[in-house]
Amino acid sequence: MQIHPDLPRVEHAHRDSVSGTCVVAVIADGWPEDIETSVRSVIEHSAPDVRVAILDCGNMDGAGERAYALAEEFPERVHAFHVAGTVADVGWGPAMRTLIATVDAPFSAPIDTATILTGDAFPHLLAPFDDPSIVATGWRGANVNTEDWYSFDSAGPGDVDVAMGYLMVVRTDAARTTPPHRKARFYRNADMEWCLALRDAGGRIVIPEGELPIRQERHRGYYDSDPEYRDQESQRNYRRLLDRFKGRTDILAPR
């Protein structure tokens, strides 16, 4: 298990190394059992050209070792990369940018490790991309409450302002051109900020019709993170979102 000292070393060593049609992007931040359950569900319920790239940050609670074991078990499907710092050290945004840099596939699919596939959701998530105006799809969507911009309401199917980071699919070229913000230390609200940036760049985001074969287990990234750190970084992400996008109804999905 090769552990790189920082994210630039990971990117330099592994850029464009994970091929396929769609690469599921996993940030490993502890909770190794959740990582294994989520990754195995992708392997079991998707086509062979759907691959998995795991970025282990700090081997929290043995998560890096579990990622390495999965890559050893499924060498054609799973790739694991390791950086010495934790997600709190390197930041969620920079970590996701690094993961996307490893992708040599048309589509990248960030997933939360609480998300479990119970069937093959990817045909449904990938079908909308036949329309070149669509830049991202997802399992769950939301729209900004434009009365005050301080909340989001569940939305979809069809065009939405944001696809939630539980499972979303993004055109890889768009994800590289308009990546998550470098200052996003924590995931919460950073996914929504990213989606609004993708819409600001001219892309549409849609949620497919019908209920996809997906379920969610305990969302440990929220419920089991340090509450003070979680709330502080979530608020920073949202303040940055407001500073850039508040009032920009021109970039939102049709109401």
- Per residue of the chain (255 residues), what is the pLDDT tens digit? 999 999 999 999 999 999 999 999 999 999 999 999 999 999 999 999 999 999 999 999 999 999 999 999 999 999 999 999 999 999 999 999 999 999 999 999 999 999 999 999 999 999 999 999 999 999 999 999 999 999 999 998 999 999 999 999 999 999 999 999 999 999 999 999 999 999 999 999 999 999 999 999 999 999 999 999 999 999 999 999 999 999 999 999 999
Q: DSSP character for 163?
A: E
Structure tokens at 237: 């992400």
How far apart, in whole angstroms, are the C-alpha atoms of residue 53 and residue 101?
A: 11
How far apart, in whole angstroms, are the C-alpha atoms of residue 133 and residue 154?
A: 22
Structure tokens at 158: 């069809």
Beta-strand pair 78-83/3-4:
parallel
**Predicted pLDDT at 153:** 96
Long-range contacts of 243-246 (CB under 8 A, 24+ apart): 244/193, 244/196, 244/197, 245/149, 245/193, 245/196, 245/200, 246/149
Where on the phi/psi map is residue 124: left (φ > 0), alpha (ψ -120 to 50), or beta? alpha
How far apart, in whole angstroms, are the C-alpha atoms of residue 154 and residue 23?
A: 26
What's this model's pTM, rounded to 2 decimal places? 0.97
CATH of domain 3-247: 3.90.550.10
Domain ranges of the chain: 3-247
Where on the phi/psi map is residue 100: left (φ > 0), alpha (ψ -120 to 50), or beta? alpha
Q: What's the pLDDT tens digit per position in 145-201?
A: 999 999 999 998 999 999 999 999 999 999 999 999 999 999 999 999 999 999 999
